[in-house]
Amino acid sequence: MGIIRPMPAQPLTNWDRAASEYVQDVAKRKGVNQGELADLAGISRNSIGAYWRGQVPMTVGTVIKLLVALKSPLDKAMDEITRRGSDLDDAEK
């Protein structure tokens, strides 16, 4: 399991926020908590918590790994994450 190392503070993009929210929504719909998702995806629970709290951005690879662990269709997920991120961008204008 990977461990999140402290990194210099970097602002999360709207895509990062949208990805985190989407993964959380899918996990909640499927009744999977952070610990279970960590086990399924082979990622530490601390890392999952940091992603969900918005402390660190998830890479596209991590998003895919989590969605595969949740057995969520990737094409639908990426479209929805991109849409949500764009909506957040529009809201900031």
Region of 54 (left: φ > 0; alpha: ψ -120 to 50; beta: rest) is: left
What topology does CATH give the domain 14-92?
434 Repressor (Amino-terminal Domain) (1.10.260)
Q: Where are the chain's structural domains?
A: 14-92
pTM of the model: 0.82
- pLDDT band for 88, please (50, 70, 90 cuts): confident
Taking only the tens place, the pLDDT of each residue in 8-61 is 456 788 888 999 999 999 999 999 999 999 999 999 999 999 999 888 888 899
Question: ∠57-58-62 over CA atoms, to 5°?
Answer: 170
pLDDT of residue 4: 55
